[in-house]
Amino acid sequence: MVACAQPERPAPDQLSPFTTRCRFATILEIQAASRPPYPTAESVVPMSKPAGVIVWAGVAIAGALSVATIALHRGEEINAMWLVVAAVCSYAIGYRFYSKFIAARVLTLDAMRATPAERLENGRDFVRTNKWVVFGHHFAAIAGPGPLVGPVLAAQFGYLPGTLWILAGAVFGGCVQDFVILLFSVRRDGKSLTEMAKSEIGRLGGFVAYVAVISIVVILLGVCALIVVNALKASPWGTFTIAMTIPIALLMGVYLRRLRPGKVLETSVLGFLLVLLAIWGGSWASHTPSVGRSFTLTAPTLAILIIIYGFAASAMPVWLLLAPRDYLSTFVKLGTIAMLALGIVALRPTLHMPALTRFIDGTGPVFAGNLFPFAFVTIACGAISGFHSLIASGTTPKLISRETETRMVGYGAMACESMVAIMAVIAACVLQPGTYFAINSPAGIVGQLPEVATATISSWGFPVSAADMHSLAQAVGEQTLFNRTGGAPAFAVGMANIFSHSIGGQALMAIWYHFAIMFEALFILTVLDAGTRVGRFMIQDALGHVWKPLGRTSWYPSVLINSALIVGAWGYFLWQGVKDPLGGINSLWPLFGISNQLLATVALCVATTIIIKMGRARYALVTLTPLTWLVAVTFSASYYKIFDPNPRIGFLAHARQLAAAPSTAGIARLIFNDRLDAAVTAILIIMVAMILIESAADWIRILAGRKQPMVRETPFVATRFATEEQA
Amino acid sequence: MKNLLVQFSSSTRRALAVIGAVLREIFDESAYARFLERRQLTTSPQAYAEFLAESRQQRERRPRCC
């Protein structure tokens, strides 16, 4: 790794200025210099072939027509296919033109440059891999519960705001972030985001990135656990199914190790069949009082069990359980997403939710806060997610064979994840609005009793009756669907609705519902155990600087202490959510969205800094525009969450309201939680403001010529596969 | 027509091969094959246990996205 002074931009636009100065002149390099290493300006906007012009004009017209239909239709229900067509056309045009422009003009992708997978190939971390395989691998790593839950929660504003934000956010923000961070990591031997922040922005940049990452991990895990708790509380069917995945995973582990070593796909198919059996068995468990009672758990009991699970997954040698569960959850996740896509296209359901609801004024029952900025922090994954920058600077850059493939993997995989978010919007909006609000509203807002809750929701203009909700609960095999906050149950009902209309009708509604709950809970638990281990390693790395033995991953006391620290941190947020009379999601999901978007802010700061240092300042708007938008969104959302006088929005206002109320047991704890949330938000925002100021000062110094730009790329090495490329 | 059918079936075969390769990579079957090749081993419970031990640290540090 060397630091190279950035020269003034040379005349030919074919090679990046950095590579012309730094790399060794080899014969291959000269060959490379004689040909454009990336698509030329002409190919960026080609349109030379009439067929191409007609096809892309058709895509643009279909996209514009669909977006116009979504945006302008009022008072009538619309078909979900308008959303699907709008999304497909937007991503196609974004990929074909915008990502190609970025590849050619901004990043100057160089197919002749050897990637770390080639130079450092070791058959383990660094492996040259087929681009479609890397694409699938990357997509499987970035697709989690976020793009399913966020859009379901944001549907309280109507289908329009979430859909438009998902489309625009992904095309101009999320896809761009993933693409540029992946490429910059490839050019730096697969370095992580925190390492790049440290080397390109400074030590403060590295420190802030580290704190942002650990904060988002802690808050994410707390929120994920809360979603599982809310989905499984008082649900013997769901709890039984999830409990059964433990013996199934152990069985898979034994099969995989002893009977068919390495046959993971085969084992996962077997595990999947057993899970289907467990879902069917869940029906029996819920209808057998003696068994059902054992699996009917309260939220606090479930929270304790999940905390114990997280600690065990991090601190104990339970690899026989975790590895097969990981494979199983990936298998179920990919299969279910594919099934949902097919179901939506086959059924073409109608959206019952209006385009905009009255709750854009900030009085929403699911979470409080105005459309701006809260719709944009509620939907993070699916539009732009800082967490993706960790994956794009983690495993993926070590598998890329050609720089030019980063476009398809980085930009393309995020576009696919964004499509998953659109499917979640559809799943939530096919529900009758009254049903959606009855499921997602906490008892603290709509009331505890079914009659009271339905009367409140009906008074908002979304008619629903207690009898409707009772029969829906019976159809899905639950005792009640009221106050199931967190997004997962509403998504499951929507998904069951779509699936049951495609296969099995009402008779299979309960099976589909619990299949959806199992699917969400299973892979959220995988996120939970993987995240807890990653968090433990991060704390160990940091504490190792304070006292060396604490950094040793093989020293068991260190493993126990650090596991307890990370589990204690997210467990605290989980407990706070479980005890929150407003359901927890109202406070915690915006906090998670803010921290996720702040991490994206750090990633885009790093990207903008590198682009400016590369001598490409005139194209810096590519990352500066989403960065500016995210700064506006996250800073205003943080301000509202801390200082808003409405107790449902502002943490401090809520603490003051509690302090003024008659003292009851546990009130001091609730006040402390509010102040803690306010402090966490404030610390995150101050640190990101520091990194922004430091980056901006750097940009100004470079652009004013007061500082020599230094990019810390790995020196150019020509690929050994040049002939393969040219062929 | 026949040409179209041939083209279609070869495209389908290619697509299925790619999907198979993607799944083998996601589910670490390819990584295991590379391990066996690198160590000059044949598949066995012992070889798989060694592979799991070797890849464990790397897998443990791999985050799952939200």
Does B37 contact A at CB distance below 8 Å?
A: yes
Report the pLDDT value the prediction gives residue A48, as an integer from 0 to 100: 65
Q: Taking CA atoms, what residue in A is nearest to B30?
A: A262
d(CA A533, nearest CA chain B) in Å = 6
Q: What is the pTM of this model?
A: 0.89
Report the pLDDT value the prediction gives residue A37, as an integer from 0 to 100: 43
Q: Which residues of chain B have pLDDT under 70?
A: none
Domain assignment present for residue B46? The answer is: yes
Segment of A411-415, A504-508, A527-531, A597-601 carrying the highest mean pLDDT: A411-415
Whether A21 shows a pLDDT value over 60: the answer reads no
Average pLDDT, chain A: 89
Domains of chain B: total: 1
User: By the 8 A CB rule, do A425 and A375 touch?
Assistant: no
d(CA B3, nearest CA chain A) in Å = 22
Assigned token pair, A119: 């130079």
Confidence of residue A42 (pLDDT cuts 50, 70, 90): very low
Q: What is the pLDDT of residues A635-686, one digit of tens each?
A: 999 999 999 999 999 999 999 999 998 888 778 888 999 999 999 999 999 9
Report the pLDDT value the prediction gives residue A313, as an integer from 0 to 100: 87
Q: What is the pLDDT of residues A684-707, one digit of tens each?
A: 999 899 999 999 999 999 999 999
Who among A134, A331, A526 is closest to B64 (CB)?
A526
User: By the 8 A CB rule, do A631 and A377 touch?
Assistant: no
d(CA B2, nearest CA chain A) in Å = 25
**Which residues in A lie closer than 8 A to residue B25 (C-beta atoms)?**
129, 133-134, 136-137
Q: Which residue has the tokens 């009367």?
A: A455
Q: Which residue has the tokens 């939200």?
A: B66
User: By the 8 A CB rule, do A358 and A77 touch?
Assistant: no
Q: How many CB pairs under 8 A join A and B?
A: 121
Domain assignment present for residue B66? The answer is: no
Whether A36 shows a pLDDT value over 80: the answer reads no
User: By the 8 A CB rule, do A299 and A574 touch?
Assistant: no
Report the pLDDT value the prediction gives residue A2, as an integer from 0 to 100: 45
d(CA B14, nearest CA chain A) in Å = 12
Domain assignment present for residue B35? The answer is: yes
User: CB within 8 A of A328, min separation 6: which ones?
Assistant: A245, A248, A249, A252, A268, A271, A272, A275, A522
User: CB within 8 A of A229, min separation 6: which ones?
Assistant: A299, A302, A303, A306, A486, A574, A577, A578
Confidence of residue A102 (pLDDT cuts 50, 70, 90): very high
Q: Taking CA atoms, what residue in A is nearest to B27?
A: A264
- For A647, which DSSP code? T
User: CB within 8 A of A106, min separation 6: which ones?
Assistant: A180, A611, A616, A619, A622
Domain assignment present for residue B43? The answer is: yes
Who among A135, A381, A533 is closest to B60 (CB)?
A533
Q: What is the pLDDT of residues A455-502, one digit of tens each?
A: 999 999 999 999 999 999 999 999 999 999 889 999 999 999 998 988
Who among A143, A261, A265 is closest to B65 (CB)?
A143
Report CA-CA distances (Å) from A174 to A391, A619, A642.
13, 17, 26
Confidence of residue A31 (pLDDT cuts 50, 70, 90): very low
Q: Taking CA atoms, what residue in B is nearest to A255?
A: B45
User: What is the C-alpha to C-alpha distance for residues A413 and A133, in angstroms, rounded to an integer?
Assistant: 11
Query: A531 and B22 in contact by Cβ < 8 A?
Result: no
Asked whether the CA dihedral A395, A130, A409, A719 is positive or negative, the reply is: positive
Q: What percent of chain A has pLDDT over 70?
A: 93
Query: B27 and A327 in contact by Cβ < 8 A?
Result: yes
Confidence of residue A441 (pLDDT cuts 50, 70, 90): very high
Q: What is the pLDDT of residues A123-145, one digit of tens each?
A: 878 999 999 889 988 998 898 88
Query: A257 and B54 in contact by Cβ < 8 A?
Result: no
d(CA A100, nearest CA chain B) in Å = 24
Q: What is the pLDDT of residues A411-434, one digit of tens each?
A: 999 999 999 999 999 999 999 999
Q: What is the pLDDT of residues A271-290, one digit of tens each?
A: 999 999 999 999 999 999 99
Burial class (CB in 10 A: 0-12, 13-18, 19+), A343: buried
- Give the phi and the psi of residue A204 in degrees, each rounded to 5: -65, -40
Residues A455-484 as b/e (b if ≥16 CB within 10 A, e otherwise) read ebbeebebebbbeebeebbebbbbebbbbb
Who among A123, A261, A553 is closest to B47 (CB)?
A261
User: What is the C-alpha to C-alpha distance for residues A102 and A7, in angstroms, rounded to an integer?
Assistant: 21
What count of Cα atoms within 13 Å lies in the side-chain half-sphere of residue A356?
12
User: CB within 8 A of A394, min separation 6: which ones?
Assistant: A141, A190, A192, B62, B63
Ramachandran region, residue A325 (left: φ > 0; alpha: ψ -120 to 50; beta: rest): alpha
Q: For chain A, which residues make up each domain, given as ranges?
A: 4-201+356-423+583-644+689-720+722-726, 224-348+432-574
Q: What percent of chain A has pLDDT over 90?
A: 69
What count of Cα atoms within 13 Å lies in the side-chain half-sphere of residue A334?
21
Asked whether the CA dihedral A69, A71, A76, A77 is positive or negative, the reply is: positive
**Which residues in B lie closer than 8 A to residue A319 (C-beta atoms)?**
52, 56
Provide mean pLDDT across the span A532-541: 89
Asked whether the CA dihedral A662, A441, A439, A373 is positive or negative, the reply is: negative
Report the pLDDT value the prediction gives residue A724, as an integer from 0 to 100: 59
d(CA B62, nearest CA chain A) in Å = 7
List the beta bridge partners of residue A4.
A711
Segment of A119-123, A300-304, A508-512 carrying the highest mean pLDDT: A300-304
Query: A133 and B21 in contact by Cβ < 8 A?
Result: yes
Q: How open is the CA angle A431-A90-A422, to the nearest 5 degrees?
A: 20
Report the pLDDT value the prediction gives residue A723, as an integer from 0 to 100: 63
Report the pLDDT value the prediction gives residue A28, as an integer from 0 to 100: 34
Query: A132 and B21 in contact by Cβ < 8 A?
Result: yes
Peptide bond into A442 cis (omega under 30): no
Whether A39 shows a pLDDT value over 60: the answer reads no
User: What is the C-alpha to C-alpha distance for residues A408 and A132, in angstroms, rounded to an integer?
Assistant: 9
d(CA A67, nearest CA chain B) in Å = 28
For A123-185, give the secondary structure using H, E and C: CCCCCCECHHHHHHHHHHHHCCCHHHHHHHHHHHHCHHHHHHHHHHHHHHHHHHHHHHHHHHH
Query: A140 and B26 in contact by Cβ < 8 A?
Result: yes
**Which residues in B lie closer than 8 A to residue A412 (C-beta atoms)?**
none
- For A4, which DSSP code? E
User: What is the C-alpha to C-alpha distance for residues B42 and A269, in angstroms, rounded to an integer?
Assistant: 24
Domain assignment present for residue B45? The answer is: yes
Q: What do you get for the CA distance between the two ends of chain A, in Å?
A: 31
Ramachandran region, residue B62 (left: φ > 0; alpha: ψ -120 to 50; beta: rest): beta
Does B17 contact A at CB distance below 8 Å?
A: no
Domain assignment present for residue B65? The answer is: no
Does B22 contact A at CB distance below 8 Å?
A: yes
Residues A676-710 as b/e (b if ≥16 CB within 10 A, e otherwise) read ebbebbbebbebbbebbebbeebbeebeeeeeebe
Burial class (CB in 10 A: 0-12, 13-18, 19+), A163: buried
Who among A217, A257, A387 is closest to B45 (CB)?
A257
Supply the range of the domain harboring residue B52.
2-60
